[in-house]
Structure 1
Amino acid sequence: MPASTITVYLYVPNIIGYVRVLMNIFAFAICFSDRKLFSLLYFISFVCDALDGWFARKFNQVSTFGAVLDMVTDRISTACLLVILSQVYRPGFVFMSLLALDIASHWLQMYSTFLVGKASHKDVKDSTSWLFRAYYRHRMFMGYCCVACEVLYITLFLLANNQTESLTEVLVGFTKQSLLNSIFLGFLLFGWGIKQSVNFIQMKTAADLCVLYDINKKQKD
């Protein structure tokens, strides 16, 4: 293996990515035996998602491998948590639908990005959707939506007492406990709602790019 290849694998942000993978493996292994530790490890791994990007820019260690590792780790982590929630709550179809939307939108976005020759899947300046552009242009806004989404899922996991919970009853019961709970849940749901809207827009936009690519290719032929 060339020394340059080994160097990329040993980039600081990529090492953080490996640690995230190991952390998530351990976290999901103990998710039902120690929910609090699982939630803590899962959230730390999520926070490290922001750190690896910061280190990549700081040390000029941005790489395609790192970007793919980062996204794959994010998607698998969220997918595993959504699968668990689908087994804990009823209707579980809600969480499986969210899982399908999350994977489909990001996979199509990554594929269409490379198809049209863009350097990053976050390059959406030519999008007609102001929400889509705002999401990827403003890191704080995107960070809030992502944090709200993940914290909401973690909160739901911590609130579940058994494997036959009604999602509606748990949410209503949580808000009735205090006004602070209602505000907290509203804050999370707002960010979560924006994130799901962006996922849908992203999926539709990426699908359109794939179709336009085929049309342009046929016209050239």
Structure 2
Amino acid sequence: MSETKPNAASAFSSRIDAVLKRRRASVIEVVDAKSAVDLATAQSYSENVFLFVPNLIGYSRIILAALAMHYMNHHPKYSTVAYCVSQLLDAVDGHAARYLGQASKFGAVLDMVTDRATTSCLLCYLSSAYPQHALIFQFLIALDFSSHYMHMYSSLVTGSKSHKLVTSDVSRILWFYYNDPTTLFLICAGNELFFVALYLAHWVHTPISLSIVAVLPILKGLTWPELIALVCFPVSALKNVINIVQLWKASKILVGVDLVERAKAREAAKRDNA
């Protein structure tokens, strides 16, 4: 037993050294906050990040989301169109950023915050529309915000240039989710479509036409929104499983960084006491 402990400690120390080497290789420069504010205030029209095309698309998404919330309680058609267009534009701004060379940290955060806030507003409405399931919708809001916030923060402290740059050795699930654009779009779209279908199901009570039911009797009694919700439910469930994985992996990364920093602090204390 006396030999096992030193070996375990040595192995743990080696792991810390490996992490430190990785962090040194991916270290990013730190910008003074006051200097950054001054630069943003003095930026020229030709290089104004606030006016980048992808960010202008982001602002339009916010306006459309606000319109969707405005009409949500009394005009489901207008609300659904505004909400869906806002979400579809999420797939446009990324392409515009890459094509125009206008990718920015501000745009990435604006995009994520808009997604989180818009979906949460819809889930808040669903909580009131389906009070018996309010706890589930509240859980989904908490999971969505916490997993993305911790994932973004863990990306920053490990020096990653983007929260979407996840390697397969960290998580194969997150790597496949973030690094395959088609998968990312389909899962996100399916998740949003599930919530939109639940919203429309609250308003639409007309069953699917008898001609379709005659071909597919299993659809008897269902409305179109209910059918869409049933089809999209597995995708939405998968999206939230990914959120759980993202939360767990981000938590482990942050704990690992804590362990490295605590080990460095102990080494520094030993040198000072020597």
The residue that corresponds to 1:218 in the other structure is 262
Q: Indicate the larger mover: 119-128 or 63-72.
A: 119-128
Which residue, 55, 60, 64 being the options, matches 2:105?
Answer: 64
Which residue, 61, 67, 76 being the options, matches 2:117?
Answer: 76
User: Which aligned pairs between 1:136-155 and structure 2 lie closer than 5 A?
Assistant: 136-155=178-197
Unpaired segments ≥5 residues, structure 2: 1-40, 205-217, 266-274
Shift of the 193–175 alpha-carbon distance from structure 1 to 2, 3 Å rule, reads: farther
The residue that corresponds to 1:158 in the other structure is 200
CA contact (8 A) 1:86 1:95 kept: yes
Report the Cα distance in structure 1 between the residues aligned to 2:169 and 2:243, rounded to whole angstroms: 14
Aligned length in residues: 210
CA contact (8 A) 1:175 1:182 kept: no
User: Which aligned pairs between 1:90-109 and structure 2 lie closer than 5 A?
Assistant: 90-109=132-151
Secondary structure of 1:91 counterpart: helix
Identity of aligned residues (%): 33
1:187 aligns with 2:228: no
The residue that corresponds to 1:167 in the other structure is none
Cα deviation code 1:172-218 (max 9, x no counterpart)? xx954369888744431121111111100000000111111110001
Shift of the 4–204 alpha-carbon distance from structure 1 to 2, 3 Å rule, reads: farther
Report the Cα distance in structure 1 between the residues aligned to 2:251 and 2:219, rounded to whole angstroms: 38
Report the Cα distance in structure 1 between the residues aligned to 2:134 and 2:107, rounded to whole angstroms: 33
Q: Indicate the larger mover: 177-186 or 193-202.
A: 177-186
1:206 aligns with 2:250: yes
Shift of the 80–137 alpha-carbon distance from structure 1 to 2, 3 Å rule, reads: same
The residue that corresponds to 1:20 in the other structure is 61
Residue type at the aligned position of 1:65: F
Report the Cα distance in structure 2 between the residues aligned to 1:195 and 1:4, rounded to whole angstroms: 41
Cα deviation code 1:121-165 (max 9, x no counterpart)? 111114443222211111111111111110110110111149xxx
Cα deviation code 1:30-80 (max 9, x no counterpart)? 111101110110000000011010100000000000000000000000010
Say which structure, 1 or 2, has more relative contact order (CA 8 Å, 6+ apart): 1
Q: What TM-score do the two structures reach when normalised by structure 1?
A: 0.88
Residue type at the aligned position of 2:166: V
Shift of the 189–175 alpha-carbon distance from structure 1 to 2, 3 Å rule, reads: farther
Q: Indicate the larger mover: 126-135 or 98-107.
A: 126-135
